Amino acid sequence: MSSGFRLLAQHPLPVRLLALFGGLALYGFSGGLMIAAGLGNMPWDVLHQGISLHVPLTIGVVGIIVSILVLLTWIPLRQRPGLGTISNALLVGVFIDLTLLVVDRPQVLWAQILLMCAGIVLNGLATVLYIIPNFGPGPRDGLMTGLVQRTGASVTVVRSCIEVVVIAVGWLLGGVFFVGSVLYAFGIGPVTQLFLRLAARLLGPADPMASEHT
């Protein structure tokens, strides 16, 4: 998606930076909402939560450490991090922890469902804000694309294998994998695509071919 939608590439640097860091803050916030809902986390947050149950660290701090470890795998895969990559690794976990400090788990099911749905929708918006400035992929996306390039397997196969392993390990460690995780897996693509279309209409594609990828 990022190759087809470099929508802010020709905009002033402050605008691009605002989109980047706003997207990262919103990404952490949306992840925190899903964790607080207690109905199932995003795949990697299942792992982060599972690990946090066995070490004296918060979910966000575990996420930062895991991001750094994932970045180390970029070395043999010959991937190059950008500003967005490093910022993603260091900031998303911070905003997850900040969210969990102020948002408690609701006691009623309807409020839990509301938090879960808000988390999924806001994560789609956050993803678009993060990718359109074109500052580089996140650590986990870079791992995926690196493995695709080295193995020749499809993006779907590689991503599915990574997330199945991540979820399985996280669940065995006690991370919450439930209906929210499944809804996220099937819903985040269409939600992100919707926000990409809206962004394309507001900003216009950076090149004539970009609209063909919507």
Domains contained in the chain, number: 1
Structure confidence by residue, pLDDT tens digits, 165-193:
999 999 999 999 999 999 999 999 999 99
In a domain, 6, yes or no: no
In a domain, 165, yes or no: yes
In a domain, 194, yes or no: yes
In a domain, 1, yes or no: no
pLDDT at site 199: 86
For residues 66 and 52, what is the distance between their CA atoms, to the nearest angstrom? 11
Domain assignment of residue 185, given as a range: 13-208
Higher per-residue pLDDT: 206 or 73 = 73
For residues 6 and 103, what is the distance between their CA atoms, to the nearest angstrom? 34
Average pLDDT score over residue span 79-93: 96
Structure confidence by residue, pLDDT tens digits, 110-129:
999 999 999 999 999 999 99
Query: From residue 108, how far is each of 8, 32, 80, 91 by CA, in Å?
Result: 41, 18, 45, 31
pLDDT at site 201: 85
In a domain, 66, yes or no: yes
In a domain, 5, yes or no: no
In a domain, 18, yes or no: yes
In a domain, 214, yes or no: no
| Amino acid found at 15 | V
CA nearest to 99, candidates 26, 148, 182, 196: 26
